[in-house]
Amino acid sequence: MQMKGKTVLITGAARGLGRACATRFAQEGADLVLVDIGRNLEGVPYPLGSDSQLAHTADLCRSHGAAVITAAADVRSAADCRAAVDRAVDRFGTVHALVNGAGIAAPSGKAVHEITEDEWGLMVDTDLTGAWRMMKAVVPLMLAQGGGSVVNIASTAGLVGYRHFAGYVAAKHGLIGLTKAAALDYAPQRVRVNALCPGSVRDDALVEGRMLAEIARSLDVAVAEHEEIFVQAQPMNRLIEPDDIAGAALWLAGDDSRQVTGTTLTVDGGFTAR
């Protein structure tokens, strides 16, 4: 119960890695503020997390004894971000840890010169600026209480390039840069900021994950065979499990990593070691 007595706000919590993190934090005693957009976005070619999926995540967390509230928020909106944090404060008084999990993998699948202004803006506004907006809303609470932890879910795309994913790669590289700069800004006040870089994560039905399948579609990879194709690129010959990422996020958010800030923790089965 290493998160007992702490409130954790998780964006992108309706499914996928957000749900995996939420249930793992619930098992460790955290109170939870679960945030997702609750609707689809024009320009994103796959469904985003729904209200019903967010409610299901909340139910899973409550089954572990967690106190949970939910909020619908688009991280492209500063007002939505502030409203979600206000809900957290009204219910729990503060936020001890923020997990920035909201993000999109598409629109992608194009060379740099083929990306439209709108596609570029949508990707960067969601995956990079969205995390900054949530930090802007949450970090003042952490400063006032004398500490806290921010975990930004980046990607191996924040460390290396991927063909036909320039917008995603640029946003995730930027997120790691934001992490390092913010870590230096807030280190004297004991607010830690770290980045977590997952490799290819299996699309686990229990968390309704679909990110790998959408990446495969963007790359024109046969969806029926996509997991096996991605396994072939992994030095450990297996995909990352959602709970592997949740465990890493838990460590970064908790007291065991109290001297860790500005770091990039890569969970990729050795992919970026080559």
Contact 20, 246 (CB under 8 A): yes
Active site residue 162: no
* Total residues found in the chain within this entry: 274
Task: Give the span between the Cα atoms of 18 and 36, in whole angstroms.
Answer: 9
Task: Give the span between the Cα atoms of 68 and 49, in whole angstroms.
Answer: 18
Contact 90, 9 (CB under 8 A): no
**Residue 215 carries which side chain, given as an amino acid letter?**
I
DSSP letters of 131-159?
HHHHHHHHHHHHHHHT-EEEEEE--GGGT
| Sign of torsion over alpha carbons 201, 206, 207, 213 | positive
- Please pick, among 46, 162, 168, 186, the residue that the annotation labels catalytic: 168
What are the two backbone dihedrals, phi and then psi, of residue 249, each rounded to the nearest 5 degrees?
-65, -40
Number of C-alpha atoms within 13 angstroms, CB side, residue 134? 38
Report, as residue numbers or ranges, the catalytic residues. Answer: 168
